[in-house]
Amino acid sequence: MPSDKRKPESDFLNFQKRYSPDMHLKLRHLEVFHAVMEEGSVSKAAEALNLSQPAISTALTRLEEMLGYGLFFRSKGHFTPRPEAFLLHADAELSLMAVEQFSARARLIGQGRAGLIRVGSIGAAAMSILPELVSSFTRDNPLVEIDLQVRSSNRISYYVSNGQLDIGLIEAPAAAAGISSIELPVPCVCIFHESSELAQHSVITPKDLAGQRLIGIQNGHQVDRQIIDVCSQAGVELEITVRGFFFAVVRRMVSHAGGVAIVDALNGMQPFGDGVLWRPFEPGINYRMALIIKSGAAPAKPAAEFADRVRLALTQAAGMGGGADV
């Protein structure tokens, strides 16, 4: 019987070659993978990256070869993500953000510019006060760039704690580790179409909502919970048949006479000329927000100044519910 002359070391090396991924990843591989996951198809990813579809397919195939396992199911030109792809998606996004951060900082240093502020915000502030604050701040500080990203509270907290964002505006409470927070409650107001009978009231109470079609935010949202609680105590049964998730979306529904809503004063009191009126709501309901930064790391001067402006704007908003737009 012939003897096996292979050395144990050779067997181990062969095993490594077969099962260990060749991790010479390039930025293009991550960009292609992230684009396909975000856009949902190869064709849309190719359009977003200004590449051909064959180039996208080739890059994905090469990435899978380097990893040593598949990321997508392929069927007649369609790419469907495997579970492994979903597990890697967030890491790919973080890696691309890190590269973008490096490029941006290097560009600013090369140009002798003052700085870059990376701000993460939930939709409530991003669609109300932040556009004006960003515009006024950059007018006053023309050598500062601001990157505003709209994300969920959990994602913003994670990015701030990791240093991927300088400032975050999230829904309170801030429960993540590695961040410092200042809680900033904003009062809520009742909004309705100008044709509504509620326009005759100077203040809206739970009893005024009886028989009204109320547009909610989302199941379990802090504002919806408070509304249900105060109305229940007043013996008022609410009819919530529609929810809009974002305050700005809810306001758009109200502008089309789709019902009434209780929203934060930032969105509710904006004079958009859309036929929406507002009144204070009693008993008071607050939308709790938090301004967060990374613990133990003082932000750069431009970021600290911008954070002060955000805090001042939200503090002023806390006194916005006292009058009405009559």
Domain edges within the chain: 8-91, 113-183+288-322, 187-286
Supply the mean pLDDT for the chain. 86
Strand segments (E) across 179-323: 179-193, 213-216, 239-243, 261-264, 276-280, 286-294
What pLDDT score does 112 carry?
40
| Distance, CA of 323 to CA of 82 (rounded, Å) | 54
| Distance, CA of 244 to CA of 254 (rounded, Å) | 11
Over residues 139-188, the pLDDT tens digits come to 988 878 899 999 999 999 999 999 999 999 999 988 888 999 999 999 99
CB-based contact 154:176 (threshold 8 Å):
yes
**pTM (2 decimals)?**
0.63
25: left (phi over 0), alpha (psi -120 to 50) or beta: beta
What pLDDT score does 143 carry?
79
Q: Which CATH class is domain 113-183+288-322?
A: alpha beta
With respect to CATH, is domain 187-286 assigned 3.40.190.10?
yes
Three-state SS at 15? helix
Same fold, 113-183+288-322 and 187-286: yes
Strand partners, 189: 263, 280
With respect to CATH, is domain 8-91 assigned 1.10.10.10?
yes
For 302, other C-beta atoms within 10 Å of its C-beta total: 19
Regarding predicted confidence, which is higher, 294 or 8? 294
Question: Comparing C-alpha atoms, which of 308, 248, 221, 225 is closest to residue 124?
Answer: 248
For 190, other C-beta atoms within 10 Å of its C-beta total: 30
What pLDDT score does 19 carry?
45
What pLDDT score does 113 carry?
53
Name the helix (H) or strand (E) containing 74: strand 72-75
